[in-house]
Amino acid sequence: MPTTLQNVVFPVAKDPDVLPLYADAEIWSKVGGKQVRLSQNAHIDNVISRSSMRVNAGKRVSFASYFNAFPAAYWQRWTVVSSVRLTLRTEGPGTVIVYRSNAGGVQQRVDSREVSGSVENTFDLPLTMFSDGGWYWFDLIASTDDLILAAGAWSTDAEPVQTGKLSLGMTTYNKPDYCVTTLENVADDPALLEGIDRIFLVDQGTQKVRDQAGFDEVAALLGEKLQLIEQGNLGGSGGFSRSMAETLEREDSDFLMLLDDDVEFETESALRGLQFGRFNSEPVIVGGHMFDLLDKPVVHAWAEVVRPDQFIWGPSFEQQHRHDFRKQNLRQTKWMHARLDADYNGWWMCMIPKQIIAEIGLSLPVFIKWDDAEYGLRARAAGYRTVSMPGVALWHVSWLDKDDSQDWQAFFHTRNRIVAGLLHSDRPGSGKLLQDAHRQDIKKMLNMQYYAVQLAIDGMQSVLRGPQSLHKTISTDMPAARKRAAQFPETHVYKPGDTDTPVAVGGRALPLLDDPTSPRGIKLALFTLRMIPEHWRRSSTENDLRAPELEYAKRDAKWWQIPHHSSVIVGAADGSGKMWYRHDRAKFRRLLRESRALSRRIEKNWDRLAAEYRTALPQITSVEEWKKTFEGR
C-alpha cells in the first residue's frame, strides 16, 4: 500500500496573506525584464476545507507553491524513493496539467488529463532527473463550471528505512499561550498524532503552562503522549538538551523534532519531516524553514551556512533573506529551484534522528545563540548532514523588531561564537573571527553602545575560563548580563508619556531618501582611523546633562552616522520608546583597551584553547553531565 509523503493542504483560517504559500492563484508575465502580476484567479474564499479548494469556471490556478509543490530534488538526493505518485480527486469539468522544473527554474510539461464529474487520477513520476534541483507540481484549469480539488497527495510504493515515531521537544520561557495553541493544533491533527510517540514540553518559566487557560483540556486530549517537564531556566540549549536526553530513553522514537515556543505551527510540516526522515538513505538532520509570524508570506532564510573565514552564520546567499512570496512565488524565483545545502538549521523547527543524538551528544551548554549552528557543524564532522527542507516550516516571531546584539544577549553572541569557532574552525589562529568580532565592538563603541561591548568583554573572559565553566554558569550567565545594564544608562528606554524624556536640540534627523552604502575597504579604514582618536579625545561623560544633538529613527541611525555625535536619541528597535546614547570618555577608553587585549590574548592562545575545548566536548555534551545540570548539581 502506498505511503503518503505529502498531503495537499490549505489554510483553514481566512487569511489572504498566506494563500500564496499554498496556491499560486495569479497569472504572471515578464514585462521589461520583471515578473508582473496580470490577474488573480483565486481568493481565500475559494478554500473549502483543509484538503479542498475551488477553481472558478474559466480560471486557472497553479499549485506550484511552497506548501503544495513537491521538492523532487531533495527526495532524489537524500532518500531511497525513486518515484512518486501524485493522486488527485476532483469534481467538475476541467484539465489537470503536471509540470516539473529543473535546477534553473525552467518549467517543463510532464502530463495532462481532462477530467469531469467525480474522478480520481494518478500520475507516476520518476525521481531520476533532479540531481541539482527541481520540483513537481500541478495546475488546475476549470472549464465551463467550477472545478473542485477534493483531495490530493504525493505518495510512494518504496519501503521506508526506519519506521519509528516522532517525539516533539518544545522549550518555553513565559510563553504559555503559544504553547497551548501549539498543543491544540497537534491534538486536532489525527495523522500527526498517530506519528507522535511523546511531546516533551520543557517549561523553564515563571508563568507556568499548566496554569494557562485551555491547558487541562488539551492535556486530557493528548493523554500520555504529553509529558510536562518543569526545570530552572537553562535557556534553549538546556531545554532542548532535556528533550534530547528524554528521547534517548524512548524505545518507540526514532526522531526528535525541536520546536520553539513563540510559533504558529503548520502541522502538515511535522508529518512531512517525519516521512522524509523515515525514507532517508542515511540519517540526516531535517530542518524547517522559518516564516515571519507578523508578516506571514515572508521566509527568513532558505539554507543557512557558517562562513569559514569570519566564522559567522547567515543565508548561503543574500537573495534568500526575507523572501516575500507575495512578490515572487515559486515559479518566479529561479534560485528556489536549485537544491541548496545547509550547514545547520535553526532550532525554531529542526528534526534530529535519535541515532545522531546518541552518537554526538546533546547541545553545547551555552544557554542561547550558536547552539543550533554548533550542533550542525558537529554533526557534519561526524558524517551527518543537515537538510533545510522546502515545504517544512512554521511561523516564528521574527527578530526584525529586535536588536539582540545590543541587549543582554550580546554576551552569548560573542562568547558562543568564539566557542563554536574553537570547536570547529579550520582556519589558523581563528581566521578572521576575532578580527571581525573586534571590528563589531569598535562599531558599537563609536555608537556609544557601551553595554553591548562590556558584555562582549565578559563573553571573552568566559571563553578564557575554559569549557568546564559552561555548565557551572549556564543558569547565572543571563541574570549576570541583565544585571550589568544598571551600569549603562543607554539601556533605559524612555516610554511615550515619560516626563523625563530628553529632547533633542536639533530636532528629528531628516529621514534618508535612499539607503546609502556603508563605508567599505579603504573608506572604512579611513573612517575608523579618524573616529577612534576623536572619541578617545572627547572629554564628555554620560553624566553631563547636555541635551541630545539630534533624534534618529531606528532605521536612520546608521552606524557610520551616529559616531559624529556625542549625544543622540534613537528609537528602540521594537518601537517601544527611545534610548539616549551619550559619549563617555572613561568608558570608551577602558572598553577599547580591554576589548583589544582580550582579543589578542585569545588569538595568541587559540591553538591551546581549541585543543582544550575539543577534548572536553564529549563530556560537556554528554547525558551524564547534562543530568547534573538538570538536577542543579
Distance CA 343, CA 75 (A): 18
Beta bridge partners of 89: 120, 151
Written in H, E and C, the secondary structure of 57-105 is: CCCEEECCCCCCCECHHHHHHHECCCEEEEEEEEECCEEEEEEEECCCC
Closest CA to 209 of 223, 199, 219: 219
Separation of alpha carbons 362 and 465, rounded Å: 22
Give residue for cell 522546502. Answer: 390
Q: Crossing angle of helices 371-381/410-424, nearest 10°?
A: 10
Distance CA 421, CA 271 (A): 34
Q: How many C-beta atoms surround the C-beta of residue 213 within 10 A?
A: 9
402 Ramachandran zone, left/alpha/beta (phi>0; psi -120 to 50): beta
Q: Which three cell numbers stand for residue 274?
A: 517525519
Sequence-distant (≥ 6) Cβ neighbours of residue 462 within 8 angstroms: 411, 415, 469, 473, 477
Question: 508 has which bridge partners?
Answer: 551
Beta bridge partners of 114: 95
Type of residue numbered 263: V
∠ Cα 195 178 208 (to 5°): 100
Contact indicator for 232, 261 with CB cutoff of 8 Å = no
Supply the angle between the helices 606-620 and 585-604 in degrees, to the nearest 10. Answer: 80
Q: What is the DSSP letter of 518?
A: P
Give CA–CA dist 574/432, Å, rounded: 31
Helix then strand then coil, in percent of the chain rounded to 5, is 35, 25, 35
Amino acid at 156: T
Which residues have C-beta within 8 Å of that of residue 79, sequence separation ≥ 6? 158, 276, 279, 280, 281
Give dist(CA 398, CA 106) in Å, integer.
32
Compute the C-alpha angle 17/18/23, nearest 5°: 115
Catalytic residue, chosen from 197, 260, 343, 372, is 372
Here the cell at position 202 is 520543557
For helices 450-464 and 477-484, give the axis angle rounded to 10 degrees: 150
* Beta strand pairing call for 304-307 and 578-582: unpaired
Radius of gyration in angstroms for the set of CA atoms belonging to the chain, rounded to a whole number: 26
φ and ψ at residue 71, rounded to 5 degrees: -75, 80
Q: Please tell me the number of Cα atoms within 13 Å of 15 on its side-chain side.
A: 14
Judge whether 515 counts as a catalytic residue: no
d(CA 179, CA 266): 14
Other beta carbons within 10 angstroms of residue 530's beta carbon come to 10
Q: How many Å apart are CA 76 and CA 79, to the nearest integer?
A: 6
407 touches 456 (CB < 8 A): no
Task: Report the length, in residues, of the chain.
Answer: 633
Catalytic residues: 372
